[in-house]
Amino acid sequence: MPLTELLPALQKLPRPDKLRVMQFLLLEIAREENLTLVPDATYDIWSPFDSHQAAHQLTALLDTEDQ
């Protein structure tokens, strides 16, 4: 199926099915790149939330911008 037909079909899917498609595609890409992702596993990702160092750097940047 060409991409021009696939995209409109994907838009019509309900949200849970869209999430399953995303998971499938991510696992396919990981498999193609020989990444060791395990289906149904969870992985931690870094986030700036609760990062006090990031907050201080942003504050310093905003202070220099104001001057």
Q: What is the pLDDT of residues 6-51, one digit of tens each?
A: 999 999 999 999 999 999 998 889 889 887 767 788 888 877 777 7
What pLDDT, on a 0 to 100 scale, did the predictor assign at position 35?
A: 78
| Residue 20 belongs to some domain of the structure | yes
| Residue 21 belongs to some domain of the structure | yes
| Residue 2 belongs to some domain of the structure | yes
What pLDDT, on a 0 to 100 scale, did the predictor assign at position 9?
A: 94
| Residue 17 belongs to some domain of the structure | yes
- Give the C-alpha separation, 55 to 50, whole Å: 8
| Residue 32 belongs to some domain of the structure | yes
| Domain count for the chain | 1
| Residue 4 belongs to some domain of the structure | yes
Residue 38's domain comprises 1-43
| Residue 48 belongs to some domain of the structure | no
| Residue 61 belongs to some domain of the structure | no
pLDDT > 70 fraction of the chain, expressed in percent and rounded: 99
